[in-house]
């Protein structure tokens, strides 16, 4: 069964850091680009970042550029999101999502259930 399971969400103070993980199973992880998408409470979807299958290219939303870093370990079938300098507007459910292609971010055909990040003092 194709599956994505996120972890690492927590409550953190403004200015703090957090590292999210997404464990993939049921497919050849290295053959797909991967993404993080977030959803603030009661709001719509926002694409945060993407990384190519080989890890050789990344892209970020302007709202997180310079603060967040996406990475992957293809030997461990795991996607990561390092989040630094967290702000209140980073509060959201963070979804890990598989792109339909190796190189391009395209549409997202498999989604995890999400992990919750709350930034609050």
Partner 1 sequence: DIVMTQSPDSLAVSLGERATINCKSSQSVLATSNNVNYLTWYQQKPGQPPKLLIHWASTREFGVPDRFSGSGSGTDFTLTISSLQAEDVAVYYCQQYYSTPLTFGGGTRVEIK
Candidate segments 16-24, 46-54, 70-78, 80-88, binder of partner 1 by CB under 8 A: 46-54
Degrees, nearest 5: CA angle 106-112-117: 105
Candidate segments 10-18, 23-31, 58-66, 82-90, binder of partner 1 by CB under 8 A: 58-66
Is residue 12 a contact partner of residue 86, using CB atoms and an 8 Å limit?
yes
- Is 105 a binding residue for partner 1 by CB under 8 A? The answer is yes
- Is 10 a binding residue for partner 1 by CB under 8 A? The answer is no
C-alpha distances out from residue 80 to 40, 43, 94, 121, Å: 19, 23, 11, 25
- Is 3 a binding residue for partner 1 by CB under 8 A? The answer is no
Closer residue to partner 1 (CB): 4 or 119: 4
By CB under 8 A, the count of residues binding partner 1 is 24
Contacts of 86 (CB under 8 A, 6+ apart): 12, 13, 14, 15, 16, 17, 18, 67, 117, 119
Residues in the site for partner 1, rule: CB under 8 A? 35, 37, 44-47, 50, 59-62, 95, 97, 100, 104-109, 111-114
């Amino acid at each position: 069964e194709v599956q994505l399971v996120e972890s690492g969400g927590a409550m953190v103070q403004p200015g703090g850091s957090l590292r999210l993980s997404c464990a993939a199973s049921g497919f050849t992880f290295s053959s797909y680009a991967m993404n993080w998408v977030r959803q603030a409470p009661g709001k719509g979807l926002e694409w945060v970042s993407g990384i190519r299958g080989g890890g050789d290219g990344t892209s970020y939303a302007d709202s997180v550029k310079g603060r967040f870093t996406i990475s992957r370990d293809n030997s461990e079938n795991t996607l990561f999101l390092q989040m630094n300098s967290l702000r209140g507007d980073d509060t959201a459910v963070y979804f890990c999502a598989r792109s339909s292609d190796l190189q391009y971010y395209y549409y997202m055909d498999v989604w995890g259930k999400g992990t919750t990040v709350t930034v609050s003092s």
